[in-house]
A and B are shown apart, each in its own frame.
Chain A
Amino acid sequence: MSAPFKSAGAAPSRREFLKVSVAVGGGLLLGFALQRAQTAEQGQSEVAPFAPDAFIRIDRNGVVTLIMCQVEMGQGIYTAMSMILAEELDVDFSRVVVQAAPPNDKLYTNAALGFQVTGGSTSIRVFWMPMRKAGASARAMLVEAAATLWRVDPDGCRTANGEVIHDASGRKFPYGALVDRAARATPPKNPTLKARKDFRLIGTPARRLDSPDKVNGKAIFGIDAMPTGVRFATLKASPVFGGKVAHVEQAGVRDMPGVRQVVVLDDLVAVVGDHMWAAKKGLDALRITWDDGPNADVSSEQMFDEIRAASSRDGVVAKSSGDLSKAASAKRIEATYHVPFLAHAPMEPMNCTVHVRPDACEIWVGNQVITRTQAVAAKVTGLALDKVIVHNHLIGGGFGRRLEVDGIAKAVRIAQKVDGPVKIVWTREEDIQQAMYRPFYYDRFAATLSDGKITGWNHRIVGSSIMARFAPPAFVNGLDPDAVDGAVTFPYDVPNIHIDYVRQEPPGIPTCFWRGVGPTHNIFVIESFVDELAHSAGKDPVQFRRDQLHGAPRLRACLELAVDKVGWGQPLPARVGRGVAVQSVFGSHVATIAEAEVDRDGEVRVRRVVCAVDCGIVVNPDTVAAQIEGGLIFGLTAALHSQITIAKGRVQQSNFHDYRMMRINEAPSIEVHLIHSEEAPGGIGEPGTAASAPSLANALFAATGVRLRQLPIDRDVLAGRKPA
């Protein structure tokens, strides 16, 4: 998903800015219900007089409201985006107010992906410069306004903490006093940006703006939306993807206390009640017969056989350099790897509150693709786009699941049958069994070694194409840029490389992005296989990598730092091992060393993880560390515990007892070391997830001599009860 493609078309007009300004200022879009935001709004005129662009509003009291086009789902983006804007705008960061942006692909497009979307660790990479320019431009307009009033040269004015200051005369204006005049100023074409040495916010650990309301129960997530008169519903869709409702026996259900309505659609059934429990009891009491349809017999075993067979087909070439047939070959090594389907299981289960009226549709939800949310609701209802009002909310975990609008479509279809607003909440079972899944992948490797170095590298990736469905323009000539992301950026100095991709869609199982996207799969298989090659070459895994990273100095510096911090080479107890993995993905360079212990039963304890990170210029260093910590835990959870399996077309896992999560008692100590850099900012939400499985699997090899080529790790294999 980090592969850029065509961005959205024409530049937005000033009229559109103002339209959004009215919408935001008018309080129609209070997705982000921070107390401060509410307080500020009460004291604000309906439209802030100074709205120089789609991101900044300043009212006559000097209240600065920043419009957040990227959604907050824990990654700290509200804080980081505000820091960048406040830095260039020169306002008191602790007093800014943030509000969620309304849907508008023109104003808020993510240039890496071509529409308004939060994902792929792109936010800071894409918006770093636009936010700086927006802040600097608004600042210049305020300076111009003050200079005009004072009849002085703008160059003799400076700004600090929300004031324009004229040192020569000792005069100053707070921004609030300048807004009417600044609104008439012309935005500069090339506003002067601050020099790096003058940053006072960027690079310092800032308090997260969203934290205070998240520790006292006041934060409002989509699931907390409570429009007046709302009823509550829960649903059950065909347990086999593509199946239909055959018959519903409803006797007695509508008379149950608190049950209001049974909604039967062609592929799902929902019950509406006075509260979720009434709805759930009603749903459980229905006797539903399903027509399973064409996917009734799909199984994981069948899909594995199919994907393995597909791996013998030639793929679409993703990268080719040198000539594999001429590679010096003292030794040839082959291996195959396999990773499973994964569900996202965000702690906030899927939910969507909808009010369908004859002339409009209003939606309350937390979603990473708000314009797609609006579009799908318009399509389902037949309403014009501007008749669909979407209130975006804080997200209680996205991880890619909320890049999809399948749930929005279901919710709107149910709400069409309901009089008044209805909150539809997925049970955890429905959330896991009616998800879209990280694809099942199969990888085939062949490599040649000579003089302790890789001379030829042949990697075939086989799996579903998410891009072909999610962003068709990015799926060119049968190549999915996400499926090969992290593979084509192979960092080692290897003269002969061939990487290809075979698309193999699982029957009836919808796939979608999952935190770490393409690299989460690719870095696991690549760094595991590189470890195999090091072992085969009889070399230390760190030395083997170090010797072949001359073309990747930033990554090599990360490796050296991690090696130093972990004490690589220092003795460890029996059955404890260290494993290393390196990666350059999402524009960031990371070296990770995990230390893990395996007992005689094959139980694994991850003791410690050390990460060295060069992600370019850092905006909020504490958040960078937090994202690496959380990303590692997310990836370790999957490596240790997670897989979605299919039998008779049905997902076999259903809740946290059989789709297990890492808990605090299993969590390792984590150290994150940042390397100072002047390079452009890289992404940080996903690198940690990609680093987990390979560093862990390599540590387990060091501890036991058992090579794990499949995830999740198999305790029976580690204990020697089952062959690898």
Chain B
Amino acid sequence: MVNLLVNGQRHSVEASLDTPLLWVLRDLLGLTGTKFGCGIAQCGACTVHVDGDPVRSCLLPIGSIKDRAITTIEAIGDAPQGAKVQKAWLGLEVVQCGYCQSGQIMAAAALLKNTPRPDDADIDAAMAGNICRCGTYVRIRAAIKQAAESL
């Protein structure tokens, strides 16, 4: 049994210590908002926060997490940055298919927490790990700036 703290709730799960957090969230806890995209930390669809830092859950073994707090897309709206990012995403109609957007929003919320007024280079550095196949990049950039202004 492995104990995890996810979105403020404690869970005990039956999985080996090397199991990536992604599959525990999705398949064992039913938190399907976090997405599988590549399995090798190349696309960012699986991004969650661990103690507030953005992490690719597809390569994060649950045995390494210990008592650190995990936040997923389902709860990011409870944080001020997350709520502002979600609002800006809706305001500028960023979303198309939406599959990558959980990861995009988690990466953007983490960016704004550490860099409240990001410039284009900050946005590139924080967001280049997140692929959007629908090509919503122009609006992602604009929405991050709008969210920053509203914070």
Judge whether B141 and A217 touch: CB under 8 Å: no
The minimal Cβ–Cβ distance linking A603 to chain B, given in whole angstroms, is 16
Cross-interface CB contact of B32 among A220, A274, A349, cutoff 8 Å:
A220
Contact of A348 with B97 at beta-carbon distance under 8 Å, contacts A258-B15, A670-B138 already known: yes
Judge whether A75 and B96 touch: CB under 8 Å: yes
**B127 — which chain A residues lie within 8 A by C-beta?**
663-665
**B136 — which chain A residues lie within 8 A by C-beta?**
626, 629-630
- A630→B95 CA distance, assembly (Å): 11
Contact of A347 with B37 at beta-carbon distance under 8 Å, contacts A211-B95, A216-B73 already known: yes
Judge whether A629 and B138 touch: CB under 8 Å: yes
The verdict on A322 contacting chain B, using a C-beta distance below 8 Å, is: no
- A430→B23 CA distance, assembly (Å): 18
The verdict on A703 contacting chain B, using a C-beta distance below 8 Å, is: no
The verdict on B118 contacting chain A, using a C-beta distance below 8 Å, is: no
Judge whether A216 and B24 touch: CB under 8 Å: no
Judge whether B128 and A657 touch: CB under 8 Å: no
Interface-forming stretch among A186-194, A391-399, A412-420, A440-448? A391-399
Interface members, chain B 93-151 (any A CB < 8 Å): 93, 95-102, 105, 123-124, 127-141
Instruction: Tell me which of B89, B129, B135 has the highest count of chain A C-beta atoms within 10 A of its own C-beta.
Output: B135
Interface-forming stretch among A52-60, A221-229, A382-390? A221-229
The minimal Cβ–Cβ distance linking A638 to chain B, given in whole angstroms, is 11
- A257→B13 CA distance, assembly (Å): 13
The minimal Cβ–Cβ distance linking B16 to chain A, given in whole angstroms, is 5
Judge whether A223 and B86 touch: CB under 8 Å: no
Judge whether B96 and A276 touch: CB under 8 Å: no
Contact of A664 with B99 at beta-carbon distance under 8 Å, contacts A276-B27, A396-B35 already known: no
Judge whether B33 and A348 touch: CB under 8 Å: no
- A399→B130 CA distance, assembly (Å): 19
- A398→B40 CA distance, assembly (Å): 22
Judge whether A663 and B128 touch: CB under 8 Å: yes
Judge whether B135 and A216 touch: CB under 8 Å: no
The verdict on A207 contacting chain B, using a C-beta distance below 8 Å, is: yes
**A278 — which chain B residues lie within 8 A by C-beta?**
15, 19
Judge whether A427 and B39 touch: CB under 8 Å: yes
The verdict on A428 contacting chain B, using a C-beta distance below 8 Å, is: yes
The verdict on A498 contacting chain B, using a C-beta distance below 8 Å, is: no
The minimal Cβ–Cβ distance linking A328 to chain B, given in whole angstroms, is 43
**B33 — which chain A residues lie within 8 A by C-beta?**
216-219
- A223→B14 CA distance, assembly (Å): 22
Tally of chain B residues near chain A (CB < 8 A):
58
Judge whether A633 and B135 touch: CB under 8 Å: yes
Determine chain A's interface SS by DSSP, over half rule.
loop
Tally of chain A residues near chain B (CB < 8 A):
63
- A276→B22 CA distance, assembly (Å): 10
Judge whether B137 and A664 touch: CB under 8 Å: yes
- Chain B residue with minimal CB distance to A218? B33
Cross-interface CB contact of B23 among A76, A275, A663, A664, cutoff 8 Å:
A275
Instruction: Tell me which of B98, B127, B132, B139 has the highest count of chain A C-beta atoms within 10 A of its own C-beta.
Output: B98
A-B contact count (CB 8 A): 188
- A75→B96 CA distance, assembly (Å): 6
**B19 — which chain A residues lie within 8 A by C-beta?**
275, 277-278
Cross-interface CB contact of A346 among B123, B133, B135, cutoff 8 Å:
B133
- A208→B96 CA distance, assembly (Å): 9
Interface members, chain B 41-88 (any A CB < 8 Å): 42-43, 45, 72-74, 77, 86
- Chain A residue with minimal CB distance to B129? A663
- Chain A residue with minimal CB distance to B14? A274
Judge whether A211 and B15 touch: CB under 8 Å: no
The minimal Cβ–Cβ distance linking A632 to chain B, given in whole angstroms, is 7
Judge whether B93 and A662 touch: CB under 8 Å: no
The verdict on B31 contacting chain A, using a C-beta distance below 8 Å, is: yes
**B20 — which chain A residues lie within 8 A by C-beta?**
277
Cross-interface CB contact of A626 among B28, B93, B128, B133, cutoff 8 Å:
B93
- A611→B35 CA distance, assembly (Å): 33
The verdict on B8 contacting chain A, using a C-beta distance below 8 Å, is: no
- A277→B101 CA distance, assembly (Å): 23
Judge whether A630 and B134 touch: CB under 8 Å: yes
Contact of A664 with B32 at beta-carbon distance under 8 Å, contacts A211-B93, A275-B19 already known: no
**A469 — which chain B residues lie within 8 A by C-beta?**
none
Cross-interface CB contact of A664 among B89, B105, B140, cutoff 8 Å:
B140
The minimal Cβ–Cβ distance linking B1 to chain A, given in whole angstroms, is 12
The verdict on A74 contacting chain B, using a C-beta distance below 8 Å, is: yes
Judge whether B138 and A396 touch: CB under 8 Å: no
- Chain B residue with minimal CB distance to A75? B96
The minimal Cβ–Cβ distance linking B77 to chain A, given in whole angstroms, is 6
Judge whether A347 and B34 touch: CB under 8 Å: no
Interface members, chain A 636-684 (any B CB < 8 Å): 637, 655-657, 661-665, 667, 669-670
**B34 — which chain A residues lie within 8 A by C-beta?**
217
The verdict on A634 contacting chain B, using a C-beta distance below 8 Å, is: yes
**A210 — which chain B residues lie within 8 A by C-beta?**
95, 98
The verdict on A36 contacting chain B, using a C-beta distance below 8 Å, is: no
- A295→B33 CA distance, assembly (Å): 40
- Chain A residue with minimal CB distance to B121? A665
The verdict on B2 contacting chain A, using a C-beta distance below 8 Å, is: no
The minimal Cβ–Cβ distance linking A334 to chain B, given in whole angstroms, is 35
**B30 — which chain A residues lie within 8 A by C-beta?**
226
Contact of A657 with B42 at beta-carbon distance under 8 Å, contacts A258-B16, A428-B37 already known: yes
The minimal Cβ–Cβ distance linking B135 to chain A, given in whole angstroms, is 3
Judge whether A224 and B32 touch: CB under 8 Å: yes
Judge whether B133 and A277 touch: CB under 8 Å: no
Contact of A211 with B90 at beta-carbon distance under 8 Å, contacts A275-B19, A397-B133 already known: yes
The minimal Cβ–Cβ distance linking A480 to chain B, given in whole angstroms, is 27
Interface members, chain A 202-249 (any B CB < 8 Å): 207-208, 210-212, 214-221, 223-224, 226, 232
Q: Which residues of A contact B (CB under 8 A)?
A: 73-76, 207-208, 210-212, 214-221, 223-224, 226, 232, 257-258, 274-278, 345-349, 394-399, 425, 427-428, 622-623, 626, 629-634, 637, 655-657, 661-665, 667, 669-670
Q: Beyond A428-B38, A661-B131, A662-B137, list 19 extra A-B contacts (CB 8 Å).
A: A75-B96, A207-B90, A210-B98, A226-B30, A226-B32, A232-B27, A274-B28, A275-B28, A347-B99, A347-B133, A396-B35, A428-B37, A626-B96, A629-B138, A633-B132, A656-B38, A656-B40, A656-B42, A656-B131
Can you name 12 A-B pairs with beta carbons within 8 Å? A74-B98, A76-B96, A211-B98, A347-B134, A397-B134, A399-B133, A425-B36, A630-B136, A656-B40, A663-B131, A664-B140, A665-B127
A-B residue pairs, 10 tightest by C-beta: A217-B33, A633-B135, A396-B99, A214-B98, A74-B97, A74-B96, A217-B73, A275-B27, A630-B135, A224-B32
